[in-house]
Every structure is written in structure tokens, then in C-alpha cells.
Amino acid sequence: MTATITDSHCHLDFPDFEGEIPDLINRASAAGVARMVTICTRLKNEPAVRAIAQAHAPIFYAVGNHPMNVAENPMASVEQLVTIAKHPKMVGIGETGLDYHYTAETKAMQQESLRIHIEAARQTALPLIIHARAADDDMIRILTDEHKAGAYTCVLHCFSSTAELGRAALDLGFYLSMSGIATFKKSQELRDIFASAPVDRILVETDSPYLAPMPHRGKRNEPAYTAHTARTGAEVFEMDYAEFAAQTEVNFNTLFSKAAVWRAS
């Protein structure tokens, strides 16, 4: 019997998956991936992302403006996010964050957007979903300052940043999510960062259609492949796969408590 896990971050509204959702769900189920959270990266796309979650029992969704998109989309408001969060299958705020690798010229807008999403996470008690790339110092500063101003929960999705950002996030009580990057041969430093983290603060994800794990690297990613990342996670924490899978389920249900309640009901 396959151990149950959750793909905590994927993008099922992307054209890569058009017309394939039922088959994706079946393949995911066969691999033990019983739930998935599909992430809206532009607020204007929320209706389409919501429709996917409404149509398929295993799928939940989260909403935000991706930091790389802030310049080309209207700034989200706290009120908009709080209103959308009333939907029973809307379980997270984001993804939001900072990305200075490609879009450093919009850093001021990114920071403003991030703070708006943090406030929405506070008001809704839903977890903040963070994208962080080449912006560790500002990310640590903003997450820490905002947490002092009022607590909120958070996951650093597809974590591949420095040990300093990882430690700062963990010190705030946040979670780190392991993606296919952790399975790559050259990712030993990243695996070491995960190994130093508490296992009760770890999630697994695909970020599909991107970043397919080994042995599918270079191909389109999909939720079923979360199992490959989870097997790497089990090795990193020197745990039996079923034990590690069960721990990530506890972690997901703790952080994404709205999804856990929906499933139980």
C-alpha cells in the first residue's frame, strides 16, 4: 500500500495541463499523492484556479500575485485577498515574495505586495506561501519585522535559498518545502540545510510543471512526482519512507489546517 502524501504547491491552471486534470489526479493517486494545492500567481486568474479546485475533490487552491508579476498586474489589496479566502477550498495566501534574480528593478513594488499578503495572512489565519530568490537579506528583514508586528504562519515554498534564510524562517516557526531541486545530484548543500531542520517543519511539493525531480529532470513535472522528492526527503532524514510521508502529512495538516478540516468534513 502506497504511503499518502500531499503536493503542497503546483500550478494546475497552466496550459501545460490543459484537458489533463482527471488523468493527472489518477496518476497522482496511484503514486500516493492524495491531495494537491494549485497556486494562483495572478489575482486576475483566481476564477479559473478556483474552478479547478471546485471541480476536483483532491485539489485545493491558494491565491496571490507572484513577485515577478507585480509590475504587470494591479496591486492586490488586503480586502480582496480576505474576501477570496472565504471560499472553503481556498487554503493559503500567495504565492508572494521577492525575486531579485530576474526582476530586481521592481523590488520596491515586490516588497509592498509582500507586506499586503502578510497582512491578509494575519487576518485570515491562512499560511503565507513565499517565493524567495536572490533576495535573502530583504526577505529575512521583512518576514522578521512583520512577525514582530503580528504573528502569522508561512511556508518558504521550493526552498533553495541560503542556510541563513532557512534558519531565520525556522526560528519564526515557519516551514520549508522540499521540491525536485533537492533530488538533483549537485544539491547536496541544499539537502544538508534540510537535514538540519526539524522534520516536523518540512513539506513536499512539485512546483509543477517546473523542476521535475530525478529521474524525470528536464521533463514536464506533475503532482505524481512528489513521491520522488519525498523519497529523497526520507533519505535526508534517515527515515523509512512511510514514516517520513506520514510526518509530512501531519505537517501539512498543521499548517494548512483549513484543508485538513475540509477533508475531515
- Count of structural domains within the chain: 1
Helices (DSSP H) in 90-162: which residue ranges?
100-103, 107-124, 136-149
Cα 21 to Cα 252: distance, rounded to the nearest angstrom: 22
The DSSP output letter for 219 is S
Whether this model's pTM surpasses 0.85: yes
In a domain, 264, yes or no: no
182 and 233 in contact (C-beta within 8 Å)?
yes
In a domain, 140, yes or no: yes
17-33: pLDDT as tens digits: 999 999 999 999 999 99
CATH code at position 143: 3.20.20.140
Q: What is the dihedral of CA 191, 193, 198, 199, to 10 degrees?
A: -10
131 and 165 in contact (C-beta within 8 Å)?
no
The residue segments making up the domain with residue 194 are 5-259
Q: pLDDT tens, position by position, for the chain (265 residues)?
A: 689 999 999 999 999 999 999 999 999 999 999 999 999 999 999 999 999 999 999 999 999 999 999 999 899 999 999 999 999 999 999 999 999 999 999 999 999 999 999 999 999 999 999 999 999 999 999 999 999 999 999 999 999 999 999 999 999 999 999 999 999 999 999 999 999 999 999 999 999 999 999 999 999 999 999 999 999 999 999 999 999 999 999 999 999 999 999 876 6
Q: For residue 133, what pLDDT is reported?
A: 96
Radius of gyration of the chain (CA): 17
Q: Find cell 494537491 and name the residue.
A: 36
In a domain, 133, yes or no: yes
251-264: pLDDT as tens digits: 999 999 999 998 76
